[in-house]
Amino acid sequence: MSVQLYQPFEKFNFSNNQCFLSGETLSSPEEKIQVFPAWLMNRYSLHDQPFKLLDESMATYKDLKIPCSAAINEQYLEPLEQSVANAFEGGYEAVKALDELQLFQWAGKLLYGIIFSEVQMAIRQSHQQGEEFNISQSIIHKFSNLHLMLQSINKPLIFEEFKPYSMFLFKVTNPENEFAYRDEINTLTFSIRVKDFGLIICLQDNGANRNYHKNILSKIEDKILHPIQYEEFCGRIFYSAYLFNRLPEYNILPVGDEIYLEAMSLKGMSVKPLFDEWLGKTFGQVLESFWKRWGFLLLEIIKNPEHPMSFLLDKENNFIPAEHIDQPL
């Protein structure tokens, strides 16, 4: 019998009676796992910290849970968590040595857990108001593809000569015990800055954002970054992920007991560039948000709108070493 993939967005099944990953019926609605794993919450005392949801309501990190089969958790998710936890504890070098696919699966599972919680809440609110739940087809497309790829955790799903993501890992001079997390579920972009590193992943771009930023990457990759430099690059990625105007398509090819996933060309039939126009003023607004802890105002950042303030590159477009940055960690 060929391997069957679970497709929760076909019937919008987001109840607590089915495993989020496999779709199998659970023995109890209490069969759940934490979206943010216990090891991460324990390490950074996150349990009771506030977490803002899309509707502006507040939850705590420990409130975010998703239904998951005990067998799936024990056989597949707990070993993945253990690998990532060990790497995070080891810091930059250990994370760099970890299989990229595991980092993608781990970040994707976390982000999908937030998506699941958001969709579940939105469906509940719609029903309470007597309205039909609506969500855009493009968002369904993205979320469905992410869930499809997460099944590489528990099924023989193989990415056929492509990476569905752009991944960026930097060594960063972070303050001790700092936890800096950020996501954007509409663009499926993820960032975490802890220990001595920062990790950014665009989960659904087939490497397009990595290619888009290849010039600046050639200057900063493998360099040690000050937190303000990391946040600047993070802002660049979150902004370009917003400008990315394609919805990646994939062919699903069952071969024996395995399923191959083949990426279709991002160019498709369109002559339009993959990214919309980069606007300095808009990027300045992004930087204002990402640099909030340092107190820079938009007017300072975009004094020259064509060339917003930068702590990564000097006026000659050369990398500024982290030790030359005169900003608090």
Biggest CA-to-CA distance, the chain: 63
Using a pLDDT cut of 70, give the percent of the chain over it: 99
pLDDT at 172: 98
- Residues 183, 114 contacting (CB under 8 angstroms): yes
pLDDT at 57: 80
- Residues 327, 228 contacting (CB under 8 angstroms): yes
Element (H, E) at 33: strand 32-34
Give the mean model confidence (pLDDT) for residues 303-329: 94
pLDDT at 11: 84
- Residues 39, 81 contacting (CB under 8 angstroms): yes
Mean pLDDT, the chain, integer: 94
Cα 221 from Cα 223, distance rounded (Å): 5
Nearest 5°: the CA angle 197, 203, 207 is 90
What is the sign of the dihedral through the CA atoms of 116, 152, 79 and 30? positive
Cα 223 from Cα 276, distance rounded (Å): 29
Element (H, E) at 301: helix 298-301
As given in the structure block, the two tokens for residue 11 are 């019937």
Residue 83 CB burial class (10 angstroms; 0-12, 13-18, ≥19): middle
Map residue 192 onto helix, strand or coil: strand
- Residues 38, 69 contacting (CB under 8 angstroms): no
Using a pLDDT cut of 90, give the percent of the chain over it: 84
Give the mean model confidence (pLDDT) for residues 169-178: 96
- Residues 119, 135 contacting (CB under 8 angstroms): yes
pLDDT at position 1 over 70: no
Number of Cβ atoms within 10 Å of the Cβ of 3:
13
Residue 111 CB burial class (10 angstroms; 0-12, 13-18, ≥19): buried
Bridge pairing between strands 58-60 and 166-172 = unpaired
- Residues 67, 117 contacting (CB under 8 angstroms): no
Q: Which residues contact 49 (CB under 8 A, 6 or more apart)?
A: 60, 61
pLDDT at 42: 97
pLDDT at 271: 84
pLDDT at 141: 96
pLDDT band at residue 72 using 50, 70 and 90 as cut-offs: very high
pLDDT at 268: 79
Closest CA to 153 of 201, 90, 102: 102
State the angle between helix axes of 227-243 and 280-290 in degrees (0 to 180), rounded to the nearest 10.
130
